[in-house]
Amino acid sequence: MSHVEDRRSLGGLVVVFACAAAAFTVLLAASGSAGGATSATTGTPIDLSNEFAPSVEVDREIPNSQSSAHVPATQVPRPQSKQVVSSNPGFGGFLGLTHRDQRLADGGNQFSLEPPDQGLCVGNGRLIEAVNAVFAVFDTNGTKLSPTTGVTSLTVFFTGQHQIVRTPAVRFGPFLSDPKCYFDPAVQRFFMTVVEIDRDPVTGSLGPRASQLVAVSKTSAPTTSRSDWFIYSIDTTNDGNNGTPSHPGCPCFGDQPLIGADANAFVVTTNEFNTSLFAGAPVIFNGAQIYVIDKAAAAAGTLRFQFIGGSPIPLAEGPAFTLQPATSPTAAAWSSANGGTEFMVSDLDFDGTLDNRLAVWALTHTNAVATHGVQLSHVVIGSQVYGQPPDAQQKDGPTPLADITPNAFTGKPGTGPAEHLELIAGNDDRMNQVVFAAGKLWSGVNTVVKTENGITHVGIAYFVVSPSLPNRGTLSATIANQGYISVNGENVLYPSIGVNSAGMGVVGFSLVGPDFFPSAAYAPIDAVNGAGTVHVAGAGAAPDDGFSGYNFFSGGNTGRWGDYSAAVADSSGTIWIGHEFIPNAPRTQLANWGTFVSHVTP
């Protein structure tokens, strides 16, 4: 979920503040044509008491968990490093959405957001990219097909409101984050989701109510206009009101919704936390929640779903966390056994240490959503070791925001500690995107690794799993292949895997380290040979220089990155991947992230 900051454009300066503390004042700074503040000036202090927006992020470690597989620290993976090359056979790509796109959408009635949280889906010659908190429709050559500016606010699209209106009086809209999108090969419709948390329009406080918003296109060729979509809202507050069940500690919200689909159902899973945590209350975690939506009905204009949750979905460690449903490249890949089966995968490192197991899940009888007949089962299998990744070092270079912080914002040259080159957040080892293709489940996680130089870095652990669930049988699963992607002395992180119907795929990720500015990269993968050589898709042009990594903006020394990426195979078998990188492109004063969208024929 995004780190959100409020910003005001005054006299050429756009200022972002992440602090959730008492109000303070700043002075304006001059700005250049590319959005980079250049010097502190004198002027009248501006009251920023209504300029703060909340940081919505929940710690990965689960309260009261009891992991049964603590792996000794001496077992940190030490994989053989992959070679990095710049050649890209069968490759093409283009610059996707950027922080500047995001901030200037909706006439500037937006917050400034890090990280982007990238969603990507492709179908019928169209590509949709979504980030926090905008989206655009492209053709497959990278030309925006969206109206006007080509970039649309997700808040306006889903709710008809603005994120924020700054004049004549500050008014807050609902908080939206964590976009995902999917093109269904059977119903030929696009699906897009976000988490929504209500905000007091005057104070900006979050909650108490929250929802999962789902948009389904009315045709196979939608624009970003609301009229081209059915938009549904599922109340996830779960406090016994508005027809919701009553869960402990709620009102609640569904953090980081994840999506998948089979022949019958579109599946959304969330992690349920109490909204009172935003006011400083202790964290209450009610486990993963599952919303199984009748896909055909949703595509025809009717929301029909079965909810699976309430009592925490059990594992030996405690409540299940981050159940990642699978998507498939073609309708032929889906399992028709047991009235339709949708598979999911989750990792089992609840404590931020090391683990060597995965949980494989199955939703069966997905054709019975209308009668609430969908059933859930799971099995735990052994795997290679993976664990909590460190933060990532990046290559040094120009950092205009760091250079003028805090002086340009305080109006007091020479005061305040200097900012330093920020690290890139490695986040954690939760399960990333899952694909069910060629009879196998393909997935990957961030993990700590030791490369040949002996220092810990961020690597990728990937898994190819063969599930089995015959009619009226018992779920089982085995590892068909597994391995690591790492680069000596560097970091690879936030994997997403796209696999076509032939079982040929691509793992996309960010590449960053002492020798690389944050770049978009990928490696080919198949079930026999595993992952291959690392290819640079979009070379980074500078260090990450965003507000979330600087102390003045309450970011510490680690910049938010990710939190996830996206990859998908189209109907021809081409793999499309989208990842965050630092482009050579116009930026704002406060951040320089961008996304790179590429396609590879494996």
pTM recorded for the entire structure: 0.91
**Which residues 6+ apart lie within 8 Å of 44 measured at CB?**
27
Smallest CA-to-CA distance from 534 within 490, 565, 567 is with 490
- State the pLDDT at residue 44: 33
- State the pLDDT at residue 411: 62
**How many structural domains is the chain composed of?**
1
Q: Compute how many other C-beta atoms are within 10 angstroms of the C-beta atom of residue 83.
A: 10
- State the pLDDT at residue 248: 95
Helix, strand, coil percentages for the chain (3-state, nearest 5): 10, 45, 45
DSSP state for residue 70 in the 8-state scheme: P
**Burial class (CB within 10 angstroms; exposed 0-12, middle 13-18, buried 19+) of 66:** exposed
Task: Mark the ranges of the chain whose per-residue pLDDT is less than 50.
Answer: 4-53, 60-68
**Which residues 6+ apart lie within 8 Å of 213 measured at CB?**
158, 159, 176, 193, 194, 195, 196, 231, 232, 233, 234
Q: How far is CA 587 from each of CA 134, 166, 314, 583, rounded to the nearest angstrom? A: 16, 22, 46, 9
- State the pLDDT at residue 12: 27
Q: Compute how many other C-beta atoms are within 10 angstroms of the C-beta atom of residue 489.
A: 17
Q: Structural domain of residue 34, as residue ranges?
A: 3-600
- State the pLDDT at residue 350: 86
Terminal Cα-to-Cα distance of the chain (whole angstroms): 31
DSSP state for residue 550 in the 8-state scheme: S
